[in-house]
Amino acid sequence: MNRIESAFTTKPIFMPYFPLGYPDLETSIDVIEALAKNGADLIEVGLSFSDPLADGPVIQHATQIALEKGITVKKSLEAVKELRRRGVDIPLILMGYYNPMLAYGLETFVRDAAQAGADGFIVPDLPAEESKEFEEAAGDLPLIRMLAPTTPPERMEAIARSAKGFIYLVSVTGITGERKSLAEGLGDLITQVREHTSAPVCVGFGISTPEQAKEVGEMADGVIVGSACVKTIGGSEKPVEAARQFAAAFRSALR
């Protein structure tokens, strides 16, 4: 059983997102460690890019600061290695865009990510139809598929049937960001996806409070929290302590 499979032995899981390099590299490593050791079951580790098309203003701002502070793919992979050295043993999924991975060299990137201790990849701007080269390079490390309410039924079925690791189900149409209420029809959408796969279904985009997470967790196998996590921690004078409290609050709501 690999780390991702182990994470889903108790469901629903809590999966926060946080970008490396924000507000600076050392703090971001401390924050991710704090999230991992205080309630996160799996973490989306952000690789910053100058044109993050799927992300809203909170994450765009954070990744822009990370880039201005000098974050690179290489430094990000070294940070993952450092997290493993510190005893972080939950799954770490690298979430980033395709261009920096190509620029790094696809096979080299995947090899270095695996050696650093990454467990898989989320690449929002890589369509399933164009992902063969990446998946061949990735080998046993899964490329996590994303589905959305706008995904046509035939395409949803094809993507869900070939899913590895888990499915990232986008709960709303649009970019990442906090929202005051959950999308209507989310339960039906989850049911529709589950008809075509045995992979866990995790829901992201727009979940901003422990109460919303609890509601989603009653329907899905996992809850992904990005913008609210970045905003809460990044806006705190004590980001590491904020990370501890944030993780504990969501973990408590889901358990």
Dump pLDDT digits (tens) for 7-28. Answer: 999 999 999 999 999 999 999 9
The pLDDT of residue 56 is 83
Burial class (CB in 10 A: 0-12, 13-18, 19+), 229: buried
Beta bridge partners of 168: 146, 202
Write the CA distances from 225 to 70, 139, 253, integer angstroms.
Answer: 25, 28, 13
Least confident range from 48-52, 88-92, 137-141, 156-160: namely: 48-52
Q: Average pLDDT in the 86-92 region?
A: 98
Quick one: fold of 10-143+210-254?
TIM Barrel (3.20.20)
The pLDDT of residue 175 is 47
Is 233 in contact with 239 (CB distance < 8 Å)?
A: yes
Tell me: pLDDT of 133 over 70: yes
Is 168 in contact with 122 (CB distance < 8 Å)?
A: yes
Beta bridge partners of 16: 225
The pLDDT of residue 179 is 46
Confidence grade of residue 255 (pLDDT, cut at 50, 70, 90): confident
Question: Residue 53: how many CB atoms within 10 A of its CB?
Answer: 10
The pLDDT of residue 181 is 54
- Please indicate whether residue 26 is annotated as part of the active site: no
The pLDDT of residue 173 is 55
Tell me: pLDDT of 180 over 60: no
Tell me: pLDDT of 178 over 60: no
Helix H or strand E encompassing 18: strand 13-19
CA 108 to chain centre: 22
Question: Token pair 């959305």 is at which residue?
Answer: 148
Tokens of 103: 């620029």
CA 174 to chain centre: 17
**Better-predicted residue by pLDDT, 185 or 203:** 203
Among 19, 2, 203, 232, smallest CA distance to 120 is for 2
The b/e string for 171-204 (b: 16+ C-beta within 10 A; e otherwise) is bbeebbbbbeebbeebeebbebbbebbebbbbbb
What percent of the chain stands above pLDDT 70?
96
Kindly report, residue by residue over 147-168, the tens digit of the pLDDT: 999 999 999 999 999 999 999 9
- Please indicate whether residue 55 is annotated as part of the active site: yes
Q: Any long-range contacts for 213-217 (C-beta under 8 Å, 24+ apart)?
A: 213/14, 213/250, 213/253, 213/254, 214/253, 214/254, 215/182, 216/12, 216/171, 216/182, 216/186, 217/12, 217/253, 217/254
Of 55, 112, 119, 178, the catalytic one is 55
Confidence grade of residue 221 (pLDDT, cut at 50, 70, 90): very high
Is 93 in contact with 118 (CB distance < 8 Å)?
A: yes
Of 24, 33, 41, 44, the catalytic one is 44
